[in-house]
Amino acid sequence: MTGSRLGVLGGTGQFGLGLAWRLALGGAEVVIGSRDEQRAEEAAARVRAGFDAAGAAPDPARVLPVSGATNRAAAAAGDAVFLSVPFAGQKALLEELGAELDGKLVVCCGVLWPPGSRPETSAAEEAERVLRRAGAGKVRLAAAFQTVAAGLLRLPPGAAGIEPAPDVLVFADEAADRKAAARLAELTGLRAVPAGPLRMSRAAEASLGLLLKLNRSSARHAGLMVTGLKNRA
């Protein structure tokens, strides 16, 4: 799905930077958002230069279409928006940006902390409630990447030793929004699996606790892969 302009709010953190890089590699124009515009532009400059955490050499023939801006400007510029801020800062940001996000697809990548601590809700469900109270009555919420490690996104697609690659579970109440969010998620080079309504993202958040324990012990960028589906790449 090339040709999209995507905002990544909170794109200067470990997860957001990797996500912005992967989306740009997949053909999207990316606007990295931050509270500090200078910090956002510095992060964008690193991505444009071909930065990745694996230390791969930049490709001087390819300058990625990535820019930096305030969170508000990134929200306004994006055809769709990825929300990659920590949950602790999610409410204040969405209250501030409500009107800018109305009518847009917002893909929430956050997790209530600690994972599984509030089984009655999820970060994406809370984001939807905040946005609707803030006047974004037509916002379209999806959840994705809750079970994908930030370190994985900062490796080149197909990196050695990370096979098979994990899937991206995608949740949204409307089937059309699940499909749209899945198409965007696949720009990262990972397979996206539409996995049900928004409330089911609670299960993905809860599973993160297990994945973190595996990563601390013997795994490397542990994730989830759904088996039994057709057309596995």
CATH at residue 141: 3.40.50.720
- Among 140, 144, 143, CA closest to 188: 144
Q: Which residues are 224's β-sheet partners?
A: none
| Strand-pair partners of 5 | 29
Residue 88 lies in a domain: yes
Per-residue exposure over 76-98, b if at least 16 CB sit within 10 Å of its own CB, e if not: bbbebbbbbbebeebeebbeebb
**What's the confidence (pLDDT) of residue 159?**
77
User: How many structural domains compose the chain?
Assistant: 1
**Angle at the Cα of 17 from the Cα atoms of 14 and 18, rounded to 5 degrees:** 85
Domain containing 91 equals 5-217
CA–CA distance from 66 to each of 40, 70, 127 (Å)?
10, 14, 26
By the 8 A CB rule, do 221 and 162 touch?
yes
What per-residue confidence (pLDDT) applies to 42? 94
Query: Are 94 and 131 in contact, with CB atoms under 8 Å apart?
Result: yes
Evaluate whether residue 197 is within a structural domain.
Answer: yes
Instruction: Answer whether residue 169 shows pLDDT above 70.
Output: yes
Residue 222 falls within a domain, yes or no?
A: no
Position 159 in a domain: yes
Reported as a single tens digit per residue, the pLDDT across 22-62 is 999 999 999 999 999 999 999 999 888 876 544 454 555 56
Residue 89 maps to a domain: yes
Let me know if residue 227 belongs to a domain: no
Residue 231 domain flag: no
Q: What are 84-116's pLDDT values in tens digits?
A: 999 999 999 999 999 999 999 999 999 999 888
pTM of the model: 0.92
